[in-house]
């Protein structure tokens, strides 16, 4: 875990040097913990598109195939955690943007509420990934050129 801490510190330092800072705090944490299922599905679809290359490589026949559907769920859980804590966002073009969160870290209660919300979204993850793939599990996960971004 110490190595992850150092990596996260270096990540935040790099973001700060580039002026990429996101304000976080109790309001954001509460908002994230209270996202509706519909909003969560849209976020998951956006995260799927934004991570299309990685998820495509996890697909059967990909460069780094997932051992199980749980691998995809674990990856999306990590992405949701990063989003909820202010380390990433999705811009209007559907691209991931990296940030250094600025503000108080979540309290234990806030962290548990966000974790509950993320875990409650696990059944939505396959739906969002399949929806992003156009309904077919083998389809490539790239946002269609004529599809406007959601956010």
Cβ-proximal residues to 92 (8 Å cutoff; 6+ apart), any chain: 149, 151
Listed by start position, the domains of the chain span: 2-132
What's the rounded Cα separation, in Å, for the pair 107 and 148? 37
Q: Give the pLDDT confidence of 14-72 residue by residue, as tens digits.
A: 999 999 999 999 999 999 999 999 999 999 999 998 988 888 777 666 666 666 778 88
Q: Per-residue pLDDT tens for 71-89? A: 888 999 999 999 999 999 9
Taking 60 as the threshold, does the pLDDT of residue 145 lie above it?
no
149 confidence band (pLDDT: 50, 70, 90)? very low
* pLDDT at residue 65, rounded to an integer: 66
């Amino acid at each position: 875990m110490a190595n992850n801490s150092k990596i996260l510190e270096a990540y935040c330092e790099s973001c700060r040097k580039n002026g990429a800072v996101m304000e976080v705090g109790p309001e954001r944490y509460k908002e994230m913990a209270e996202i509706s299922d519909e909003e969560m599905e849209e976020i998951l679809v956006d995260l799927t598109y934004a991570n299309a290359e990685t998820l495509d490589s996890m697909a059967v026949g990909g460069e780094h195939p997932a051992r199980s559907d749980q691998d995809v769920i674990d990856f999306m859980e990590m992405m949701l955690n990063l989003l909820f804590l202010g380390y990433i966002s999705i811009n209007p073009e559907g691209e991931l943007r990296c940030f250094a969160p600025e503000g108080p870290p979540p309290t234990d209660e806030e962290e548990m509420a966000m974790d509950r919300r993320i875990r409650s979204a696990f059944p939505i993850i396959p739906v969002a990934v399949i929806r992003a793939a156009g309904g077919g599990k083998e389809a490539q996960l790239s946002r269609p050129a004529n599809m406007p971004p959601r956010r």
